[in-house]
Structure 1
């Protein structure tokens, strides 16, 4: 008998899903029957925690540009995954979470059944698109709607739940997938007026956000045509590595804000203009952007920050259409970009005497492991690099220190990244505090034999929070000093090669260039 669980896996494969992250349980047995029937066509990665399954799907999508799935049980399996779903929502990352559900004749009755929730679907609906499979004949329609929700317009997570008594029901062959969404038509009339405004300006500045991921070539060509410096938010870093027009610096820095304010035309592309990028110090000094030209795929985002010329459109398609309409002119873009890069770097040194050394450490990782993917958690070197750092690979630098800001993100996301890009070195940069949120996922990296270098910044606590408490004149004696793992013995328990160095970029660089097989664990003693 071909069941709903088997047809579901067939439907995922037909829609391009080739990897599933998850942990089997009594509420997903029939889904795993489907995976077993499809061996060789789809890969399953066993995680150590359902939150890790979500983070792995996130990292996989950011690097590959396509969706992965997570299989989790009802109740605690799904609630554990919600944090990862919220992170994906904040950063516009497509992922499909498929969860079990209790027997349909018991739902909402409070009978005390295993993993019971009052209304699981209603809980998820506050975050993203969710559906329940109630009829085997409509499984294909449910999948089509979920994929459309994930990928049409602004990407994000989607959820499908299936009751245990439905998973094993007979299911007919699914119809071919419906192509999700359709291309957003370009506003031809608006294109001409936008091009005219850009051509008339003398000091154009481009603000590039995560919506430009995958559109690095048209971004660079448009910038060159306009001779316009490009300020990249964290999720756009790596788009224009080393380019004369690149400004890989946070618009929260005073020097970058002044540069934005001095522009006579701002072109904002695929950026939500959120405070974790534009006002991370919460001082309210973001320049007035109301006269900007703004391109975004999401109408809701356009409404949140009104612009003189708002355009709902795909970033890559819009930039490609604009480029031949622009008039090439010398706007002194390279010199302007170089000046603000220098000012931003100097400003970072003035913010915190330890920040330049932490930034040096991140740059040493990049230079010692060229073209690597660096996946980060919330920790001091990452905060420094989010303020100013230029990565040498598109989609190669991302972290959870902006937006939703989930600690413990990086170990799982690094695994997803490594699976999405076989043979590419991956670095997981994480603090000792963040590591303790999800240490078990390092065993997943060992099981999968992934070339991940775990670099742990060990300052024996939550140092960034401690500094924030001191600035607020709160005694940091409580909560900021959890004891760290014994890193050497923890690495040994994970069967990983281990080395430890002081916070010296040169010593770290020497370790990083050492050849290795599989995952390894490097501690930076930052106490």
Structure 2
């Protein structure tokens, strides 16, 4: 490339390639241009969002479908603070994300002189959200800092990690450094815990499994384990599709009364890779979610096992290791299948659909129709009616085919950029962004990003003329609705301005036809009844 020594910025790009990074999301600025010096000559694809929040959400969507950290490069100050919302969503949902930012020159840090983009303590601010925040002050430490960042993201409970590099350090020679991806042994369950778990499984007559996002990476093992135990598998939002097509699949929320009844009548519940959070298990905030005392919880984060329902057997371990160990000795605990698990699961599926009601039921049918028309599609959502309905019950065709920001941190503006990230992360799998007309306006400009990278995304705008769910909640609480009817633009004109084809539809049949006929990226506005 050149005879001179590589700068820190150039060396960083080389090391990211060595770490397997093929895509970064970011908006260049004067405080990061040195990080871009080697990018044009690399194999890494750079995607430019219209806002740094979009960069973070794109990285999130990319990480969910690939299982690899999503990477952002943003400027110091406002670029980083704009990314914090996306980092918070990633932290809540345990999504690995690496955010690399600039920071002001070393000699100016902490001076409070009003330098461009200055924050009183940028690393301290980010540390309230990130798992770790590193400041690179010595060029010779670049490989060590990057290795530590990947170690934090890929061992233990995943989440966002931040590295900041002062603008003067970016330009310095990096020297000869060797980067090696860290090898992080995953914690194995103890022999005592495995023996106890096997005994509890062997004694159970009516077991139930409850899974969360931590089970996604171990989908095959979860299916094998559930079949050996002959247990219905309740999947929370981020684990939908793991049991797709299986008789034991119960893709319904523990917020529903019939699902709670199943849990409470079980003589053993295994909670695998789930934090048992309220946005999954108590969506209506009625306080009715409880679990029986005979509870096994398996989580890689020991602190999480001390939060929420306390188990009879807490197992701190990598879920894959736990399942592999259990399955290797299945003769000690497996139940001879009589079809009881499948019967219990089917009965609750029917009760769940009845409990959800006609309106949500029609929304769920629409989601299923989208998958029938586009079997390989990934449905990515914001907080909108279709998503709330699907989070109660939706039969996703595979793991990571359904995810959204309506649980956990619960941010708006997520679906459009996250869908772009998902489509880029899985070429050949289109993404459908399920958006409300209000929430879409948070990141509406990402239509331009989709056009720039020719993302295989259909933006489905569920237009019910405002924040309908919030309005309904206000009315239910005898509060006069106010602030819930923000005006929306003519979405077709906005789409046209960005060069995207669009169509306005008012029925399910028209929607499916549009999805089949319009080239992507495209925008479809569904005029939903109020």
- Distance in structure 2 (CA, Å) of the matches to 1:468 and 1:370: 34
- Distance in structure 1 (CA, Å) of the matches to 2:168 and 2:512: 55
Alignment RMSD (CA, Å): 1.2
Relative distance call for 1:357 and 1:513 in structure 2 (3 A) is same
Q: 1:334 aligns with which of 330, 342, 345?
A: 342
- Distance in structure 2 (CA, Å) of the matches to 1:291 and 1:117: 50
- Could you list the per-position Cα deviations for residues 177-207 of structure 1 after superposition, in whole angstroms to 9, with x for gaps in the alignment? 1424212123122212201111111100000
Q: 2:495 aligns with which of 491, 503, 527?
A: 491
SS in 1 for 2:186: coil
- Distance in structure 2 (CA, Å) of the matches to 1:49 and 1:133: 25
Q: 2:165 aligns with which of 162, 165, 178?
A: 162
- Matched-pair contact (CA < 8 Å) for 1:151–1:180: no
Q: 2:509 aligns with which of 484, 487, 506?
A: 506
Q: Aligned residue for 2:65? A: 63
SS in 2 for 1:126: coil
- Could you list the per-position Cα deviations for residues 63-122 of structure 1 after superposition, in whole angstroms to 9, with x for gaps in the alignment? 001112100000000000000000000000001000010111111222111111100000
Q: Aligned residue for 1:193? A: 196
Q: Aligned residue for 1:422? A: 427
SS in 1 for 2:54: helix
- Matched-pair contact (CA < 8 Å) for 1:195–1:322: yes
CA displacement at 1:224 relative to structure 2: 0.6
Unaligned runs of 5+ in 2: none
SS in 2 for 1:213: helix
Q: Within the alignment, does 1:50 sit opposite 2:52 as a pair?
A: yes
Q: Aligned residue for 1:82? A: 84
CA displacement at 1:285 relative to structure 2: 0.8
Q: Aligned residue for 1:462? A: 467
Q: Aligned residue for 1:92? A: 94
Q: Within the alignment, does 1:248 sit opposite 2:260 as a pair?
A: no
- Matched-pair contact (CA < 8 Å) for 2:102–2:164: yes
Q: Aligned residue for 2:27? A: 23
- Distance in structure 2 (CA, Å) of the matches to 1:375 and 1:201: 37
- Residue pairs, 1:117-516, within 5 angstroms: 117-128=119-130, 129-305=132-308, 306-323=310-327, 324-325=329-330, 326-330=333-337, 332-349=340-357, 353-476=358-481, 478-502=482-506, 504-514=507-517, 516=518
- Matched-pair contact (CA < 8 Å) for 1:7–1:173: no
SS in 1 for 2:422: helix
Q: Within the alignment, does 1:13 sit opposite 2:14 as a pair?
A: no
- Distance in structure 2 (CA, Å) of the matches to 1:456 and 1:401: 16
- Matched-pair contact (CA < 8 Å) for 2:19–2:181: no
Q: How many residues align?
A: 519
CA displacement at 1:291 relative to structure 2: 2.6
SS in 2 for 1:98: strand
- Distance in structure 1 (CA, Å) of the matches to 2:23 and 2:265: 47
SS in 2 for 1:44: strand
- Distance in structure 1 (CA, Å) of the matches to 2:71 and 2:292: 38
SS in 2 for 1:20: strand
CA displacement at 1:512 relative to structure 2: 1.9
- Distance in structure 2 (CA, Å) of the matches to 1:506 and 1:263: 41
- Distance in structure 2 (CA, Å) of the matches to 1:170 and 1:511: 54
CA displacement at 1:511 relative to structure 2: 2.1
Bigger mean CA deviation after superposition, 408-417 or 173-182: 173-182
- Distance in structure 2 (CA, Å) of the matches to 1:412 and 1:445: 8
- Matched-pair contact (CA < 8 Å) for 1:418–1:452: yes
Unaligned runs of 5+ in 1: none
CA displacement at 1:328 relative to structure 2: 2.9
CA displacement at 1:288 relative to structure 2: 3.1
TM-score by length of 2: 0.96
- Distance in structure 2 (CA, Å) of the matches to 1:158 and 1:468: 36
- Distance in structure 1 (CA, Å) of the matches to 2:528 and 2:334: 51
SS in 2 for 1:173: coil
- Could you list the per-position Cα deviations for residues 328-360 of structure 1 after superposition, in whole angstroms to 9, with x for gaps in the alignment? 3235011100000000000001xxx42222222
- Distance in structure 2 (CA, Å) of the matches to 1:91 and 1:338: 29
- Distance in structure 2 (CA, Å) of the matches to 1:510 and 1:44: 33
- Distance in structure 1 (CA, Å) of the matches to 2:393 and 2:178: 49
CA displacement at 1:289 relative to structure 2: 4.1
SS in 2 for 1:342: helix
- Matched-pair contact (CA < 8 Å) for 1:378–1:430: yes
- Distance in structure 2 (CA, Å) of the matches to 1:193 and 1:300: 21
CA displacement at 1:316 relative to structure 2: 1.8
- Matched-pair contact (CA < 8 Å) for 2:420–2:456: no
SS in 2 for 1:130: strand
- Could you list the per-position Cα deviations for residues 354-397 of structure 1 after superposition, in whole angstroms to 9, with x for gaps in the alignment? 22222221111111111211111110011001000010021111
- Distance in structure 2 (CA, Å) of the matches to 1:240 and 1:452: 25
SS in 2 for 1:337: helix
SS in 1 for 2:174: coil
- Matched-pair contact (CA < 8 Å) for 1:152–1:180: no
- Distance in structure 2 (CA, Å) of the matches to 1:171 and 1:491: 45
